[in-house]
Amino acid sequence: MVSKALLRLVSAVNRRRMKLLLGIALLAYVASVWGNFVNMRSIQENGELKIESKIEEMVEPLREKIRDLEKSFTQKYPPVKFLSEKDRKRILITGGAGFVGSHLTDKLMMDGHEVTVVDNFFTGRKRNVEHWIGHENFELINHDVVEPLYIEVDQIYHLASPASPPNYMYNPIKTLKTNTIGTLNMLGVEVRVARIFNTFGPRMHMNDGRVVSNFILQALQGEPLTVYGSGSQTRAFQYVSDLVNGLVALMNSNVSSPVNLGNPEEHTILEFAQLIKNLVGSGSEIQFLSEAQDDPQKRKPDIKKAKLMLGWEPVVPLEEGLNKAIHYFRKELEYQANNQYIPKPKPARIKKGRTRHS
Ligand SMILES: O=c1ccn([C@@H]2O[C@H](COP(=O)(O)OP(=O)(O)O[C@H]3OC[C@@H](O)[C@H](O)[C@H]3O)[C@@H](O)[C@H]2O)c(=O)[nH]1
Which run of H or of E encompasses 266? strand 266-268
Query: Consecutive sets of 10 residues in the chain, 358 residues long: mean pLDDT of each?
Result: 46 59 67 64 73 86 79 77 95 96 98 97 94 97 91 94 74 79 76 96 91 97 98 98 98 97 98 98 97 95 98 98 98 86 63 41
Cβ pair 160, 182 in contact under 8 A = yes
Ligand 1, atom 5: closest residue by C-alpha: 211
Does ligand 1 have an atom closer than 6 angstroms to the CB of 102?
Answer: no
The pLDDT score that the predictor gives to residue 286 is 98
**CA distance linking residue 98 with residue 118, whole number of Å:** 10
Does the predicted interface ipTM exceed a cut of 0.90?
A: yes
**Helix boundaries (H) for the chain:** 2-74, 99-110, 165-170, 172-186, 211-220, 240-251, 269-280, 304-305, 318-338
- What three-state secondary structure class fits 239? strand
Dihedral (Cα; 327, 328, 331, 332), 10-degree rounding: -150
Give the other-Cβ count within 10 Å of 330's Cβ: 13
β-partners of residue 226 are: 287
CA dist 203 and 329 (Å) reads: 8
Helices in 76-210 by DSSP H: which ranges? 99-110, 165-170, 172-186
Of 221, 74, 155, 165, nearest in space to 353 by CA: 165
Q: Which residues, in sequence order, are bridge partners of residue 219?
A: none
At residue 28, the pLDDT reads: 67
Q: Cβ(346) to ligand 1 under 6 A?
A: no
How far apart are alpha carbons 324 and 83 in whole angstroms?
30
CA distance 261 to 304: 10
Calculate how far, in angstroms, residue 215's C-alpha sits from the geometric centre of ligand 1: 11
The protein residue with its alpha carbon nearest to ligand 1, atom 7, reads 211
What residue owns the CA closest to ligand 1's atom 8? 211
Q: What pLDDT shows up at residue 312?
A: 98
Closest CA to 117 of 128, 99, 105, 106: 105
Cα 96 to ligand 1 centre (Å) = 23
pTM score:
0.76
C-beta 227 within 6 A of ligand 1: yes
Burial of 335: CB neighbours in 10 Å, binned 0-12, 13-18, 19+: exposed
Cα-to-centroid distance, 210 and ligand 1 (Å): 5
Cα gap 76→69, rounded to integer Å: 10
